[in-house]
Chain A
């Protein structure tokens, strides 16, 4: 019998206690609010300061981007990818380290490496990418990276990249017509000599 009434008593007190807590939240809604009005307010970038100049230092995982002018075609990123979403095809450059204006090929990277390869195909299937960041570490030229992050002045934070067609999610970074242009260039060269 005593248990009967203590049960009723604990029911009332605990439920009222819970209602008190929710009421505090109710009246403090303005201060406690944690949500954002999404299309107007974007999720802020986390404050990450690693303590040195970090123009290329990237931790934010949004979509992959490749600086083709710096890519030397070493295939390290392709090998690092656990889901095989990167596909690179390279051709031997006729002359190591020299620009080929016809196909907008830049011979020397910003790090000063002279390129021996011309990348004719650099496709990344973003629909398969698992955002593991593994491809960005082995890159000797730091030319493949995730956009956003500390260098977002160059590449703004973007996590909305929906596409109406799946094929649009295969990003083709190699400059269009590189293969044909290169063949033509080599043909002309051999014709000259």
Chain B
């Protein structure tokens, strides 16, 4: 996943790291061979890291398990909320885990605003309906906008992830689950957003930094926009660089211009500006430096004003 290499090459490189060069040299295809060799050069610099990265790649099933468990807990919460809506507050109060209890209560407050809708989405029966009659769902989805579809689909998997009510133009996503959400957007068979068209940052009145992702699906030919807001004091957004490889450079550019830190980005450096540039130029409160490497930056050209 990390370096985007074929599994075959990774296998070859791993075996070569163990000393088995013959398997690479025996390769017929020149292209693959040279790629494998190049990967080997890279890998030999830090074999441990390579092994860790790429063997971890294969045991990605663990991650899936984790999400499943979190999914389960969400289902649990939904269950409790449904009970609460029916007036059974005792069972909620009886939850021993404080965190879960508070979560349930928060969800309950939200749900009470529109209890019918919440019931519709979360009652076990409805979920099974969606699963069983997929063709029917497709027909409905075709009529509604793709953003609404994402919102509805996401409720089951990532409840509370879409923050905005009106999703005509964009989806406002909770930054904490963004990475998993992005993987889901890319891999879900209904969505398949395989192409990140544009990623950029915004400075909203000097208080909030916003990252916007324009996603497109080459196979489904649909398009959406995702926005993530973070406070300007602590601008941290999970990096999706390993989901869409182009996000690597896009995020570097956004970091360069806005100072949004993309956590878990492997190589977060300035991209367009020099390494030692001060400040984040596209923030609204940016001021041009007085000097750069001892060179005074002229504000106004001589003999003009």
Contacts and interface: CB of A to CB of B under 8 A. Distances in A.
Contacts of B301: 125
B4 interface: no
A167 B305 CA distance: 14
A145 to B, nearest CB: 23
A167 B304 CA distance: 10
B303 interface: yes
A114 interface: no
Contacts of A125: 301, 304
B298 to A, nearest CB: 13
B303 to A, nearest CB: 7
Question: Which bracket fits the contact residues of B?
Answer: under 10
Nearest to A167: B303
Contacts of B305: 87
A87 B305 CA distance: 9
Contacts of A129: none
A125 B301 CA distance: 11
A87 B300 CA distance: 13
Interface string B262-305: 00000000000000000000000000000000000000010111
A123 B301 CA distance: 13
A87 B304 contact: yes
A170 B305 CA distance: 12
Nearest to A128: B301
| Contact residues on A (Cβ < 8 Å of other chain), bracket | under 10
A78 to B, nearest CB: 13
Contacts of B304: 87, 123, 125, 170
A125 B304 CA distance: 9
A123 B304 CA distance: 9
Nearest to B305: A87
B196 to A, nearest CB: 31
A1 B23 CA distance: 27
A81 B304 CA distance: 16
Contacts of A123: 304
Nearest to A85: B304
Nearest to B300: A84
Contacts of A87: 304-305
Interface in A115-144: 123, 125
Interface string A86-126: 01000000000000000000000000000000000001010
Nearest to B302: A167
B299 to A, nearest CB: 13
Nearest to A125: B304
A149 B304 CA distance: 30
Contacts of A167: 303
Nearest to B303: A167
A87 B303 CA distance: 12
A20 B263 CA distance: 60
Contacts of A170: 303-304
Nearest to A84: B304
B34 to A, nearest CB: 21
A123 B305 CA distance: 11
Interface string A57-99: 0000000000000000000000000000001000000000000
Interface in A153-190: 167, 170
B28 to A, nearest CB: 15
Contacts of B303: 167, 170
Interface of B: 301, 303-305
The 6 residue pairs across chains A and B that have the minimum distance between CB atoms? A167-B303, A87-B304, A125-B304, A170-B303, A125-B301, A123-B304
Given A125-B301, A170-B303, 6 more contacts: A87-B304, A87-B305, A123-B304, A125-B304, A167-B303, A170-B304
8 contacts: A87-B304, A87-B305, A123-B304, A125-B301, A125-B304, A167-B303, A170-B303, A170-B304
